[in-house]
Amino acid sequence: MSHVPRSPDIPIERESSGRIASAARERIRSGLRNVRVASFWVAIVLPVAYLPLLAGGLTGTEALLFAALVVANAGAFVLGHDYDPAADE
């Protein structure tokens, strides 16, 4: 496959650059939506991990792990709060 260099005197069509920008915006929106969906579900499921820690008592590193889980859950709530599962139906 050979590479042909682009000549500076040939202008880029506005239509094709507009399509490229539109495609890039769509990929960003899709990526943000995926992060929002994943965060929403992580925020729902993550508290299940609290139960074994709380049942066994929080000693030493378990207290640190519990605090990290609470912070991760709060972050997931913030990132996933705009997601509406009913909108996917």
For residue 51 the two structure tokens come to 């139960």
Residue 51 structural domain: 14-88
What is the mean predicted confidence (pLDDT) over 72-77? 96
Total domains in the chain come to 1
Q: What is the mean pLDDT of the chain?
A: 84
pLDDT classification of 74: cutoffs 50, 70, 90 = very high
Give phi and psi for 28, each to the nearest 5.
Answer: -65, -45
Residue 76 lies in a domain: yes
Q: pTM of the full predicted structure?
A: 0.68
Answer whether residue 4 is part of any domain.
no
4 has a pLDDT exceeding 90: no
Q: How far apart are CA 16 and CA 2, in angstroms?
A: 22
Q: What is the pLDDT of residues 16-53, one digit of tens each?
A: 777 888 888 999 998 999 999 999 999 999 999 899 88
